[in-house]
Amino acid sequence: MSDNFLALAKQRRTIYALGKDLPLAEDVIIETIKEAIRQAPSAFNSQSSRALILLGKEHVQFWELTREQLRKIVPEESFKATSDKLDGFAAAAGSVLFFEDQDVVKGLQEQFAAYADNFPVWSEHSTGIAQYAVWLALAEKGIGANLQHYNPLVDADVQRTWGIPANWKLRGHMNFGSIVAPAGDKAFMDDAKRFVVAR
């Protein structure tokens, strides 16, 4: 089983060339995303992770909102490259926006005061695990993905457009779709610089 997991971990890559031809029905993909987040561990079983799943025109609208926010801050002479990059993201079939519910975090801080400083950190752990779980689940089904972070630039637009509660804090957005071109080779740093083993 561990070999299967490691093979899947190697299969999960950052895929930028994504298309809209999904190999499965949208409802199957939606349930896959939900179940991956449900099964992702969280501190004190807080289940603080939240998600907005966007498909079709809703997914494209998210990237148009992002484009308009970036237009305000990116110099005009650099904007075409930025806009072209966003076109690539919009070419995907959908996206998952990951949030952490700050009411849950604050509630745990009040309930367990001795650990109050840790709960925001553990919340970040929770979203990272949820994102990785979704990424692995999509990869297992032959769906490519990449993870982006245009928060907090787009937070207000997202809240307003999709009725997201103010206590949901946006942490990242994952594009997913058919794999138009695979990822390139991945380089790894030397193990001696990364790992310490004591026996």
pLDDT surpasses 80 at 13: yes
Q: What is the pLDDT of residues 41-86, one digit of tens each?
A: 999 999 999 999 999 999 999 999 999 999 999 999 999 999 999 9
Q: What is the pLDDT of residues 92-109, one digit of tens each?
A: 999 999 999 999 999 999
What is the predicted pLDDT for the residue at 3? 84
Share of the chain above pLDDT 70, in %: 99
Q: How does 7-34 read in b/e, with b if 16+ C-beta sit within 10 Å?
A: eeeeebbebbbbebebeeeeeebbebbe
pTM: 0.96
Query: Strand runs (DSSP E) across 38-197, as ranges?
Result: 49-55, 94-101, 144-148, 168-179
- CA terminus-to-terminus distance, the chain: 25
- Strand, helix or coil at 10? helix
pLDDT surpasses 70 at 177: yes
Least confident of 1-5, 57-61, 72-76, 153-157: 1-5
Q: What is the pLDDT of residues 113-146, one digit of tens each?
A: 999 999 999 999 999 999 999 999 999 999 999 9
pLDDT, the chain, mean: 97
Residue 6 token pair: 């490691």
| Secondary structure of 133-145 in HEC code, one letter for each residue | HHHHHHHHCCCEE
Q: DSSP readout, 18-32?
A: EES--SS-HHHHHHH
pLDDT surpasses 80 at 1: no
What is the predicted pLDDT for the residue at 129? 98
Residue 87 token pair: 């076109």
pLDDT surpasses 70 at 157: yes
Instruction: Measure the CA–CA gap between 49 and 146, rounded to whole angstroms.
Output: 19
pLDDT surpasses 70 at 2: no
What is the predicted pLDDT for the residue at 41? 98
